[in-house]
């Protein structure tokens, strides 16, 4: 097979007709040609040639690979959707059917990705992305044929573009051609890339090869004659010919093995093609019986094919007269076709007259399952089939989705992964600070399942308090899960230590404030009440104190047994009346002064949650001392008799008060994240949150219980919450 340069449409069709005979297939291809010619009418390539010349070359390459009629048609049509106005996939589908339009669509999509960043692991990911996006082997063939002609005409582009495209070709396209075993395309792509990436070296190698060319041809021809003499004495069908290595592979060997040009062993190369497998080994035997093989250079890819299905016997022998070294490849015609055209040979379109449907079906399935395996494959092919299977296994179960950063870096993730997995794969800190994400420029929920080809942008906020425990359920990659777990565990430990310290300090402060003896809070004494207050351990107790799950007042009451907290209502009222003149000004624990009373429990009412700055009144409750309510609390509206005047202390210690808010808003993604961000910015802690989308599916009601310092602090928070996008109203509530 040789892929001819610059063929005419007549030559191309001749190539097509060499293996496609049915009139309906030929008609389809001709229709595609006519359609493309008309669609691209007036367009010229950078080379100045009419655009259709490019399409003819692409289709001709596909025909040289003996692709099926639809693929050849897709070759003609592959640039119509991208480059021609008014031609959509729908138009192609209508004219040529869904199969061809799907192929054209995939080719267009892949064409829109620039495979940048040339680190090896990235190139590997790019290849995977490419293959995964193609979905269909025929799309890859069209893309390779397209790239081949673009590389052949690369000199018409700017030098920077030349380099970029050449790098992309060398790192992504050529390895894919290699993986598919299409050595002719692979070799040409490599040599063309080499020429643009390293013009100096390319010229050097080319020169060296030229200088030695006539010598080499002579040596090869002599060797061929010698071998023919041997083989002709046996009854074996064969053909033998010399072959030349392409420039890039010579250069690679010089660099990789650090050898000078003269030392590259297999410059002299001979190939023998025969009819059967048995004859391959037989020929090998005759050659080894005559020439000394170089140890370690014999490879049996017939018994153990390469991952790309390549089969051949390789041996390197020394010719005794001049001491020249030859690499000899021995293979069957079938193996040779696969070596040249690779998987395309398996795909070869055959117009069969009377093949049974089931057989055809089975063949298609074999091809498809082969392709599935292929598309899962990652690392460079391995000579060891076991290792190859391992790689395959690993990939089937691991990396399956390939997404891009906005800068075009490919991130490989397990299928089902979310933007959170993506964020953690970029960087752990990015993961921790994630507050949202866009996929293909649209904002999406963080549990969105990513698809191959998605461009993902992660939104972060440095004030983010870190990953939410819910994320563990959302993420798919072990990597992200581990990072989130580690973060949460660490945070919990730090938080807990802080809380224990805070709880202890709060008790000490309270005892000091009440001018009571420090003895009261000896650990022994406290241990006695821990269980009564239904805490498991001492540490749990302190955490409870810090979290205000238990009031300081009740702790002190329990610790200070001298004090009686039992007092009925009548007694309270009497007390109020009796002590009305004494004007005690000592603030109680909650920061409220109850004139004349400092021996009974005073606490803030849960219903209206008053905070400093609110107008308040004391309510003498039944058996629970004085409850402080906001003056406008509906719960005390009809209880005038039991109310007493109370005041906020002037110099309040830094203390937090809890209030209830309701945020009414239009529903949208990340609303809660934004609300939480505002709260964090205002140094507020969220005690409780309950957010739900209302029945109308359009609006959201979010109930918050937050801690604030005072009324002023609360006003600032409310004002900022109202600024959050889509928030309609924020109200403080009583319940
Ligand atoms: Mn093209």
| Backbone torsion region of residue 239, taken as left when φ is above 0, otherwise alpha when ψ lies between -120 and 50, otherwise beta | beta
Rounded-to-integer distance, Cα 434 and Cα 401, Å: 20
pLDDT tens-place string over residues 17-42: 998 888 999 999 999 999 999 999 99
Rounded-to-integer distance, Cα 546 and Cα 509, Å: 12
Ligand 1 centroid–CA 369 distance in Å is: 29
pLDDT tens-place string over residues 645-671: 888 877 666 778 889 899 988 887 777
> What pLDDT band is residue 118 in, cutting at 50, 70 and 90?
low
How far CA 486 is from CA of 281, 328, 422, 492, in Å, comes to 59, 58, 18, 10
> What pLDDT band is residue 577 in, cutting at 50, 70 and 90?
low
Higher pLDDT, 263 or 107: 107
Ligand 1 centroid–CA 198 distance in Å is: 25
Q: Which residues contact 414 (CB under 8 A, 6 or more apart)?
A: 398, 399, 400, 401, 421, 476, 477
Closest CA relative to residue 621, chosen from 643, 638, 599: 643
Rounded-to-integer distance, Cα 658 and Cα 661, Å: 10
Return the percent helix, strand and coil in the chain, to nearest 5: 50, 15, 30
**Other CB atoms within 10 Å distance of the CB of residue 663:** 24
> Strands, DSSP E only, in 294-420?
299-300, 313-318, 325-332, 399-404, 410-414
Backbone angles phi, psi at 292, to 5 degrees: -75, 120
Ligand 1 centroid–CA 54 distance in Å is: 7
Rounded-to-integer distance, Cα 651 and Cα 254, Å: 83
Cβ-based burial of 211 (10 A; exposed 0-12, middle 13-18, buried ≥19):
exposed
Closest CA relative to residue 240, chosen from 322, 318, 331: 331
Ligand 1 is an ion; its neighbours by CB within 5 Å are 79, 146
Select which of 83, 366, 569, 690 is catalytic.
83
Closest CA relative to residue 436, chosen from 671, 735, 711: 671
Ligand 1 centroid–CA 79 distance in Å is: 5
Look at the alpha carbons of 222, 227, 229, 230 in this order and tell me if their dihedral is positive or negative.
positive
Higher pLDDT, 81 or 262: 81
Q: Which residues contact 725 (CB under 8 A, 6 or more apart)?
A: 668, 674
pLDDT of residue 209: 81
pLDDT of residue 238: 94
Ligand 1 centroid–CA 74 distance in Å is: 11
Task: Indicate whether 77 pLDDT > 60.
Answer: yes
Mean pLDDT in residue range 419-427: 93
pLDDT of residue 376: 46
Q: Is 83 among the catalytic positions? A: yes
Task: Indicate whether 143 pLDDT > 50.
Answer: yes
Closest CA relative to residue 733, chosen from 656, 663, 672: 663
Q: Is 690 among the catalytic positions? A: no
pLDDT of residue 393: 38
How far CA 17 is from CA of 26, 27, 248, 709, in Å, comes to 8, 11, 34, 86
Host H or E run for residue 14: helix 9-17
Ligand 1 centroid–CA 145 distance in Å is: 9
Select which of 14, 41, 82, 351 is catalytic.
82
Q: At what angle do helices 538-546 and 523-530 cross, to 10 degrees?
A: 80
Ligand 1 centroid–CA 10 distance in Å is: 20
Tokens standing for residue 45: 């390539």
Ligand 1 centroid–CA 77 distance in Å is: 9
Q: Are 694 and 662 in contact (CB under 8 A)?
A: no
Higher pLDDT, 227 or 208: 227
Ligand 1 centroid–CA 146 distance in Å is: 5
Ligand 1 centroid–CA 78 distance in Å is: 6
Host H or E run for residue 437: strand 434-439
pLDDT of residue 568: 52
Ligand 1 centroid–CA 347 distance in Å is: 22
Ligand 1 centroid–CA 52 distance in Å is: 10
Rounded-to-integer distance, Cα 53 and Cα 37, Å: 9
* 3-state secondary structure (DSSP) of residue 660: strand
Chain centroid to Cα 161, Å, comes to: 28
Ligand 1 centroid–CA 9 distance in Å is: 16
Mean pLDDT in residue range 408-417: 77
CA angle, 89 then 90 then 91, to 5°: 90
> What pLDDT band is residue 422 in, cutting at 50, 70 and 90?
very high
Rounded-to-integer distance, Cα 196 and Cα 164, Å: 9
Q: Please, what's the b/e burial string for 695-704 (b: 16 or more CB within 10 A of its CB; e: otherwise)?
A: eeeeebebeb
Closest CA relative to residue 587, chosen from 652, 660, 516, 643: 652
pLDDT tens-place string over residues 272-307: 999 999 999 999 999 999 998 888 888 998 888 776
Ligand 1 centroid–CA 377 distance in Å is: 27
Ligand 1 centroid–CA 174 distance in Å is: 17
Task: Indicate whether 567 pLDDT > 60.
Answer: no
Task: Indicate whether 597 pLDDT > 80.
Answer: no
Ligand 1 centroid–CA 142 distance in Å is: 9
Higher pLDDT, 471 or 359: 471
> What pLDDT band is residue 582 in, cutting at 50, 70 and 90?
very low
> What pLDDT band is residue 271 in, cutting at 50, 70 and 90?
very high
Segment among 9-13, 96-100, 366-370 with least mean pLDDT: 366-370
DSSP characters over 162-214: HHHHHHHIIIIIHHHHHHTT-HHHHHHHHHHHHHHH-HHHHHHHHHHHHHHHH
* 3-state secondary structure (DSSP) of residue 34: helix
pLDDT of residue 684: 81
Strand partners, 644: 618
Higher pLDDT, 176 or 446: 446
Ligand 1 centroid–CA 666 distance in Å is: 47
**Other CB atoms within 10 Å distance of the CB of residue 519:** 10
Rounded-to-integer distance, Cα 75 and Cα 580, Å: 99
Task: Indicate whether 111 pLDDT > 60.
Answer: yes
Task: Indicate whether 394 pLDDT > 50.
Answer: no
Mean residue pLDDT across the chain:
81
Look at the alpha carbons of 331, 333, 339, 342 in this order and tell me if their dihedral is positive or negative.
negative
Q: Are 47 and 153 in contact (CB under 8 A)?
A: yes
Ligand 1 centroid–CA 11 distance in Å is: 19
pLDDT of residue 440: 82
Rounded-to-integer distance, Cα 111 and Cα 665, Å: 43
Mean pLDDT in residue range 4-28: 92
How crowded is the C-beta side of 48, counted as CA atoms within 13 Å? Answer: 1
> What pLDDT band is residue 202 in, cutting at 50, 70 and 90?
very high
pLDDT of residue 396: 37
Q: Is the pTM of this model over 0.85?
A: no
Rounded-to-integer distance, Cα 565 and Cα 624, Å: 9
Mean pLDDT in residue range 496-512: 89
Segment among 346-355, 446-455, 462-471 with least mean pLDDT: 346-355
């Amino acid at each position: 097979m040789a892929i001819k340069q610059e063929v005419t449409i007549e030559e191309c069709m001749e190539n097509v007709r060499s293996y496609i005979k049915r009139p309906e297939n030929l008609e389809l291809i001709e229709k595609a040609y006519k359609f493309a010619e008309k669609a691209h009418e007036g367009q010229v390539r950078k080379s100045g040639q009419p655009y259709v010349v490019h399409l003819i070359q692409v289709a001709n390459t596909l025909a040289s690979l003996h692709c099926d009629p639809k693929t050849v048609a897709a070759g003609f049509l592959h640039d119509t959707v991208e480059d021609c106005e008014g031609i959509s996939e729908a138009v192609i589908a209508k004219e040529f059917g869904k199969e061809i339009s799907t192929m054209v669509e995939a080719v267009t999509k892949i064409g829109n990705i620039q495979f940048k960043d040339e680190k090896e692991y990235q190139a590997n990911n790019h290849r995977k992305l490419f293959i995964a996006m193609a979905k269909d082997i025929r799309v890859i063939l069209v893309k390779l044929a397209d790239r081949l002609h673009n590389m052949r005409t690369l000199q018409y582009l700017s030098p920077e573009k030349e380099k970029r495209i050449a790098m992309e070709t060398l790192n992504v396209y050529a390895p894919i051609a290699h993986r598919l075993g299409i050595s002719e395309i692979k070799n040409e792509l490599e040599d063309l890339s080499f020429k643009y990436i390293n013009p100096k070296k390319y010229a050097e190698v080319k020169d060296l090869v030229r200088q030695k060319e006539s010598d080499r041809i002579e040596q090869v021809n002599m060797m061929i004659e010698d071998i023919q003499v041997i083989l002709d004495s046996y009854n074996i069908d064969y053909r033998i010919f010399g072959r030349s290595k392409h420039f890039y592979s010579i250069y690679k060997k010089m660099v990789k093995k650090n050898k000078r040009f003269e030392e590259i062993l297999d410059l002299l190369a001979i190939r023998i093609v025969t009819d059967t497998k048995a004859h391959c080994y037989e020929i090998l035997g005759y050659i080894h019986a005559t020439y000394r093989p170089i140890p370690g250079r014999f490879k049996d890819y017939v018994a153990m094919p390469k991952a790309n299905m390549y089969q051949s016997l390789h041996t390197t022998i020394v010719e005794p007269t001049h001491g020249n070294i030859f690499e000899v490849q021995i293979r069957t015609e079938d193996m040779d076709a696969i070596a040249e055209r690779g998987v395309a040979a398996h795909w070869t379109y055959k117009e069969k007259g009377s093949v049974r449907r089931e057989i055809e079906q089975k063949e298609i399935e074999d091809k498809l399952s082969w392709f599935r395996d292929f598309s899962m494959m990652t690392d460079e092919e391995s000579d060891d089939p076991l290792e190859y299977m391992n790689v395959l296994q690993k990939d089937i179960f691991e990396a399956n989705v390939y997404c891009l950063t906005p800068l075009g870096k490919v991130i490989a993730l397990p299928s089902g992964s979310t933007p959170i997995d993506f964020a953690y794969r970029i960087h752990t800190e990015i993961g921790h600070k994630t507050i949202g994400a866009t996929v293909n420029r649209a904002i999406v929920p963080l549990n969105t399942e990513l698809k191959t080809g998605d461009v993902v942008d992660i939104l972060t906020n440095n004030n983010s308090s870190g990953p939410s425990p819910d994320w563990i359920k959302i993420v798919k990659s072990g990597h992200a899960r581990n990072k989130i777990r580690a973060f949460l565990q660490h945070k919990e430990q730090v938080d807990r230590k802080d809380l224990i310290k805070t709880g202890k300090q709060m008790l000490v402060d309270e005892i000091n404030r009440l001018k009571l003896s420090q003895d009261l809070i000896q650990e022994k004494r406290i241990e006695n009440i821990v269980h009564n207050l239904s805490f498991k351990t001492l540490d749990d107790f302190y955490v409870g104190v810090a979290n205000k799950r238990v009031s300081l007042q009740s702790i002190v009451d329990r610790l200070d047994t001298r004090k009686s907290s039992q007092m009925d209502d009548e007694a309270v009222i009497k007390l109020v009346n009796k002590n009305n003149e004494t004007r005690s000004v000592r603030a109680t624990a909650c920061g409220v002064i109850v004139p004349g009373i400092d021996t009974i429990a005073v606490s803030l009412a849960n219903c209206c949650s008053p905070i400093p700055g609110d107008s308040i009144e004391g309510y003498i409750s039944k058996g629970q001392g004085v409850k402080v309510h906001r003056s406008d609390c509906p719960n005390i509206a009809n209880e005038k008799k039991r109310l007493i005047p109370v005041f906020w202390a002037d110099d309040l210690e830094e203390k937090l008060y809890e209030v209830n808010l309701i945020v009414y808003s239009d529903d949208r993604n990340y609303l809660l994240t934004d609300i939480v961000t505002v709260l964090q910015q205002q140094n507020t802690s969220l005690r409780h949150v309950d957010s739900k989308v209302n029945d109308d599916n359009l609006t959201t009601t979010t109930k918050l219980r937050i801690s604030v310092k005072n009324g002023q602090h609360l006003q600032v928070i409310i004002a900022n919450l109202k600024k959050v996008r889509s928030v309609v109203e924020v109200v403080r509530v009583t319940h």
